[in-house]
Structure 1
Amino acid sequence: MSVFTFGETTIALRGSGPLRLGGSMDVSIAGAESGVAIGLARLGHEVRWAGAVGDDEAGELVLRTLRAEGVDVSAASRDSGAPTGLVLFEPRLPELTRVHHYRAGSAGSRITACSVAEAFSAAPPRVLYLTGVTPALSRTARSAACLALQLAAEHSTLVCLDVNYQAELWSSGEAGEVMREWAPKADVLIASDDELALCLPSGVPDDAGLRAKELLALGVGEVVVRRGAAGATAYSVQGRVHRPALAVRAVGSADADAFVAGYLSALLDGSTTAARLERATAARAFAGASRGGWEGAPGRSEPARLGPGMR
């Protein structure tokens, strides 16, 4: 197994305009962990996703979609005592979409450390992918993530931590407390410019380069900073590598998962940091051209269509 990840996958309803006006909605699924899992599977890697869904039709859609995309869901479970979560996406401007979460008490928030341990130990992966969304869901979900970090250390599994701060789910204070504890355990830390502050004590200047240097000193193997339209930068003890974003006509903004999938895909292939950023920015460009999120993630041969070096 190349990658193991777990977290909540919800039903996603994407409206065509303001919710109060009604109208049609597209039905799909959403979740950072499952989005990255789908992106990696499309790029040719073996991925296992563990999570809990309700014993309902929404849960069936989640599992059916992941299976259809080639993601191993053998470790997933059904919770008859809680529903599958729901997220509503409300477009307000071309660059602004309001997100409404209906996840309190959902099946996905009730994932346990026991289920994660079983899924991890069944086939220790090369990479563990964690996000800051999972610990925000509940105490049990946070405990499960802590155990996964422990198991990764015991099995010499590379840890990729995606900060992915969601203000709707928890406060910056709560997130910072967890991220400061977890960050030094990460081989690859992925964050936006503003998310880096959550991983460090106060007092570090508001400069991505300085913050990355502090994180490297704490033990992080590599810091990858997503800068949206400005591209992405990777910092390590070997130095700094930057790649600009690709100029494509963006339709959606849910492209962060594809970026992570592209980066991890190239890492698993043994590529250089520059090549990892190139595949990540190419995958992001494909996903951004789709109104959804994971739906536009590219297949193995597609990044090369964007030009030389995009492999």
Structure 2
Amino acid sequence: MGLVAAAETGPLEFARAFGYGIGGAESNVAIGAARLGAPVTWIGRVGSDATGDMIERRLRAEGVRTVVVRDPGFTGLMVKHRRFGSTLSVDYHRAGSAGSRLSPDDLPAGCVETAGVLHVTGITPALSRSAHDAVFHAVERARAAGVPVSVDVNYRRKLWSPDEARPVLRRLVALADAVFAGVEEARLVLGPDGAGTAAELVGPLSELGPAQAVIKDGARGCTARIDGTGYRLAALPVTAVDPVGAGDAFVAGYLAELLAGECAEQRLRTAIAAGAYAVSVPGDCEGLPRRTELAALTGAEDVVR
């Protein structure tokens, strides 16, 4: 999506300065993993407009291989502003957009079958029936080819209701090898069984199918159950400037290390560090770190000469 962000805090109608860039969970993960050295392919549909041009150029500039279908419709848009304090409001303009017309036919032969990991989110199935079918078609192809499937629940209440989302997200999680969710997202997927803390939710979430279940818990870090072993890592202390995209950075860090063959604890440590970088900079993907920056976070100085 295109991303319009108001520069000042206050009612959107009085904002006079705006930034314009790209957003979207899948794009954020693609850029984040590519910056950490993973080979990444992004598959999607964008409009035949300036925003679509910008998205394709930005992804390619980040080293992401793009399989782009150009649609005669418009590219989706996200509008972000702070009404007061640190509270962010995000509005989506996606109904009828190019991305909402994603379909199973948009996935080229062999693109899924040759992947190291297929990553999808719970956002895409909410956009339309054809987008829903495209996600599950990709997942089925991956499973048939023995390609691990990664799912970030990424529930968006402005796109669909909990009752609409729960059965779809639950089915998606059950087909996954790795699942990422926030605490409330885990409760949503688990339904009546979804009470408790992150530590109490991660086991039942894993029991739905994924051998790797990770609950992203913001400033409290993360809780995971990976191949039967439990993990709990604290967040790194940073000044949060913009929380949007932190979860995507976390997933990018985890998947990059998974593809690199790193152990579970290292995957989580990199994920935590990537999330810390992301929240420290305005924008969805601007603050995503590169390998050379990860180690510098815990010992950062005020001035680096």
- TM-score w.r.t. the length of structure 1 is 0.91
Q: Is 1:206 matched up with 2:196?
A: yes
Counterparts of 2:80 and 2:234, CA distance in 1: 28
CA RMSD of aligned residues (A): 1.5
Q: Is 1:161 matched up with 2:154?
A: no
Unaligned ranges ≥5, structure 1: 1-9
Q: Give the C-alpha shift of residue 119 in structure 1.
A: 6.4
From 58, 61, 76, the counterpart of 2:51 = 58
Q: Quick one: structure 1 residues 291 and 138, their matched pair in 2 at CA, closer, same or farther if it must change by over 3 Å? A: same
Q: Give the C-alpha shift of residue 180 in structure 1.
A: 1.4
Q: Specify the SS of the correspondent of 2:286.
A: helix
Q: Could you say which residue in structure 2 is the equivalent of 1:104?
A: 95
Q: Is 1:79 matched up with 2:65?
A: no
Q: Is 1:269 matched up with 2:249?
A: no
Q: Give the C-alpha shift of residue 208 in structure 1.
A: 3.0
Q: Give the C-alpha shift of residue 240 in structure 1.
A: 1.2
Q: Could you say which residue in structure 2 is the equivalent of 1:130?
A: 120
Q: Is 1:113 matched up with 2:104?
A: yes
Aligned residues, how many? 296
Q: Could you say which residue in structure 2 is the equivalent of 1:229?
A: 219
From 53, 61, 67, the counterpart of 1:68 = 61
Give % identity: 40
Q: Give the C-alpha shift of residue 32 in structure 1.
A: 0.2
Q: Give the C-alpha shift of residue 76 in structure 1.
A: 0.7
Amino acid at match of 1:194: E
Counterparts of 1:246 and 1:261, CA distance in 2: 17
Q: Could you say which residue in structure 1 is the equivalent of 2:274?
A: 283
Counterparts of 2:180 and 2:35, CA distance in 1: 21
Q: Is the 8 A contact 2:3 2:77 kept in 1?
A: yes
Q: Which whole-Å deviations, capped at 9, do the CAs of 1:249-275 have from their partners, x for residues lacking one?
A: 121112111111011111111212211
Q: Is the 8 A contact 1:128 1:152 kept in 2?
A: yes
Q: Give the C-alpha shift of residue 237 in structure 1.
A: 4.3
From 67, 80, 86, the counterpart of 1:95 = 86
Counterparts of 1:85 and 1:269, CA distance in 2: 33
Q: Give the C-alpha shift of residue 209 in structure 1.
A: 3.1
Q: Give the C-alpha shift of residue 285 in structure 1.
A: 1.0
Q: Which moved more, 1:202-211 or 1:266-275?
A: 202-211
Q: Is 1:35 matched up with 2:25?
A: no
Q: Specify the SS of the correspondent of 1:27.
A: strand
- TM-score w.r.t. the length of structure 2 is 0.93
Q: Specify the SS of the correspondent of 2:164.
A: helix
Unaligned ranges ≥5, structure 2: 300-305
Q: Is 1:20 matched up with 2:10?
A: no
Counterparts of 2:57 and 2:297, CA distance in 1: 31
Q: Is 1:148 matched up with 2:146?
A: no
Q: Is the 8 A contact 1:117 1:148 kept in 2?
A: no
Q: Is 1:300 matched up with 2:288?
A: no
Counterparts of 2:135 and 2:193, CA distance in 1: 28
Q: Specify the SS of the correspondent of 2:240.
A: coil
Q: Is the 8 A contact 2:202 2:213 kept in 1?
A: yes
Q: Quick one: structure 1 residues 263 and 93, their matched pair in 2 at CA, closer, same or farther if it must change by over 3 Å? A: farther
Q: Specify the SS of the correspondent of 1:118.
A: coil
Q: Could you say which residue in structure 1 is the equivalent of 2:37?
A: 44
Amino acid at match of 1:114: D
